[in-house]
Amino acid sequence: MNLKELTIKEAHKLLEEKEITSVELTKAHFDGIKKHDGNIHAFLSLTEKEALESAKKVDQRISKGEPIEMLAGIPAAIKDNILIRGAKTTAASKILENYIAPYDATVIKKLKEEEAVFIGKTNMDEFAMGGSTENSAFGPTKNPVDTNRVPGGSSGGSAAAIKAGFSVYALGSDTGGSIRQPAGFCGVVGFKPSYGAVSRHGLMAMASSLDQIGPITKNVDDAAAVFEIIRGADILDSTSADREWQSYHDKPVDIEEIKFGVPREYFTHGLAPEIEKNIKAVISKLEKEGAQIEEISLPYSEWALAAYYIIMPAEVSANLARFDGIKYGYSKMSNLKDTYLESRGEGFGAEARRRIMLGTYVLSAGYYDAYYTRAQKVRRLIKQDFVHAFKEVDAIITPTSPTTAFKFGEKTQDPLSMYLADIYTVSINLAGVPAISIPIKEVNGLPVGLQLIGNNFEDIKLLKIAKIVEDMSK
């Protein structure tokens, strides 16, 4: 048995049946990391001692015959912008190089209640800004499928860790695609919940009206298992939603009852023909099995990238103002003004600085209405597109990305070409709806992600539908 290939469900069962111990499971993952992460660089820091202590505690409970939670004793990798008390949390930025988190994010608190085993913090684009993990101040992560290629981003370390068998599951964050796109590039499952489904308390804010935490896993069942633990209202995040959630294990959906929408705006120029072919093959198969397929229109999709790249940097510029060289992090002390200028100038990387400047510009007097207010109006229209669509259909099928994983350096000189890679993912964040990327048939040995979008707060229904599509694309 290869312990590094186990899913959450399989590992849980083996732990319960005493076929394996959590210490064995945890050690197997660390062995893999020690052998291969020198090359992949999925992790920025490891917490081996703490992980083995947690694993031991779970093993003691199992040996006493106590029942254990679903995620108990199972290794988890956490994106480095999510706070674990006492652990180094850098968001892959030089400005936070030596920052130790003073409290647990709400999602971490919830996972600790499950007795999860945290093995380390994963690499990412600095402050989650990017789509390739090349913007990490500590060097990029490589795609385990082809190490000449990027793993996607910004949660590239989390996606690579799952693909490489370094962890059973991971958490990422998604502001404009950062869970789904790397999952697609690495051939794993990535789920961005509805905005407000999961507390953002303890997630380093990038663009607060768009950010969500979600799981990166080996399959849809595991994504549901993690989601069912981390979701829920939180007094420490006023944007978290208080809802009655269905259970993923309630009655499954019947394929013949599902109506899929295929938005014509997502299948036009720019989409690699082989990806289109593979997505369309899944659609035909679903139709053959009895699902209803309908072409739909999301007419404002065309302006999604433009709106996103105004609203997101506006919020980035406000959120990153707290890194001033005084309160925490990298500091170049001199007089007050130079302390700000030098600490921020040297502490932030090029992409962070670019977005801070863009965001400050679109929020400045004189330009606010021309850019920010207009982008907000477009955001409303994009939201309406989805409201209309979901009156007709249960889920929307699109590609996750227009291409497969690209090579290192291919887009770093041209930020616009990097931003274009987000074309299919950003409108979902603008609208706040849930979406999941699942791997389908590869193209030239490289993974392809299919994105399924669900209606607002119909996360469980979306996961159930995703399970059907996953089974069908095997």
Residues forming the active site: 79, 154, 178
Residues 377-436 touching ligand GLN, rule: CB under 6 A, are 422
CB of 156 to ligand GLN, least distance (A): 10
Helix H or strand E encompassing 376: helix 374-392
* 178 binding ligand GLN? (CB under 6 A): yes
**Distance between first and last Cα of the chain:** 22
CB of 4 to ligand GLN, least distance (A): 27
Please identify, using beta-carbon distances, which residue of 174 and 265 lies nearer to ligand GLN.
Answer: 174
* 129 binding ligand GLN? (CB under 6 A): yes
Instruction: For residue 188, give Cα distances in angstroms to 172, 183, 184.
Output: 13, 5, 6
449: left (phi over 0), alpha (psi -120 to 50) or beta: beta
- Give residue 294's identity as a one-letter amino acid code: E
CB of 204 to ligand GLN, least distance (A): 11
SS3 232: coil
Preceding omega of 154 cis (within 30 degrees of 0): yes
Structure tokens belonging to residue 258? 């599902």
Helix H or strand E encompassing 397: strand 395-399
CB of 117 to ligand GLN, least distance (A): 26
* 317 binding ligand GLN? (CB under 6 A): no
**CB distance 76 to 58 below 8 Å:** no
Please identify, using beta-carbon distances, which residue of 241 and 358 lies nearer to ligand GLN.
Answer: 358
Tell me how far apart the alpha carbons of residues 231 and 427 are, in angstroms, rounded to a whole number: 22
Please identify, using beta-carbon distances, which residue of 177 and 187 lies nearer to ligand GLN.
Answer: 177
Site map 202..221 versus ligand GLN, x via CB under 6 A:
----x---------------
* 177 binding ligand GLN? (CB under 6 A): yes
Please identify, using beta-carbon distances, which residue of 152 and 261 lies nearer to ligand GLN.
Answer: 152
The only residue of 32, 130, 359, 432 in contact with ligand GLN, by rule CB under 6 A: 130
* 241 binding ligand GLN? (CB under 6 A): no
Total residues in contact with ligand GLN, by rule CB under 6 A: 13
**CB distance 97 to 103 below 8 Å:** no
DSSP 8-state code for residue 285: H
Tell me how far apart the alpha carbons of residues 236 and 12 are, in angstroms, rounded to a whole number: 31
Q: How many CA atoms lie within 13 A of 271 on its CB side?
A: 23
- Give residue 179's identity as a one-letter amino acid code: I
The only residue of 74, 128, 168, 320 in contact with ligand GLN, by rule CB under 6 A: 128
* 312 binding ligand GLN? (CB under 6 A): yes
* 154 binding ligand GLN? (CB under 6 A): yes
130: left (phi over 0), alpha (psi -120 to 50) or beta: left
SS3 328: coil
* 83 binding ligand GLN? (CB under 6 A): no
CB of 341 to ligand GLN, least distance (A): 25
Dihedral sign, Cα of residue 50, residue 9, residue 257, residue 245 = negative
Please identify, using beta-carbon distances, which residue of 178 and 301 lies nearer to ligand GLN.
Answer: 178
* 449 binding ligand GLN? (CB under 6 A): no
CB of 420 to ligand GLN, least distance (A): 10
The only residue of 59, 104, 174, 459 in contact with ligand GLN, by rule CB under 6 A: 174
Please identify, using beta-carbon distances, which residue of 282 and 304 lies nearer to ligand GLN.
Answer: 304
Beta strands in 337-443 (DSSP E): 395-399, 435-443
Tell me how far apart the alpha carbons of residues 102 and 83 are, in angstroms, rounded to a whole number: 8
Alpha helices in 424-458 (DSSP H): 426-431
Q: Which residues pair with 296 in a beta bridge?
A: 263
β-strands 435-443, 43-46 pairing: unpaired
Q: Which stretch binds ligand GLN (CB under 6 A): 38-46, 89-97, 175-183, 216-224?
A: 175-183
Residues 329-388 touching ligand GLN, rule: CB under 6 A, are none
Q: Which stretch binds ligand GLN (CB under 6 A): 174-182, 221-229, 338-346, 362-370?
A: 174-182
Q: Which stretch binds ligand GLN (CB under 6 A): 1-9, 123-131, 249-257, 328-336?
A: 123-131
Q: Which residues bind ligand GLN (CB under 6 A)?
A: 128-131, 154, 174-178, 206, 312, 422
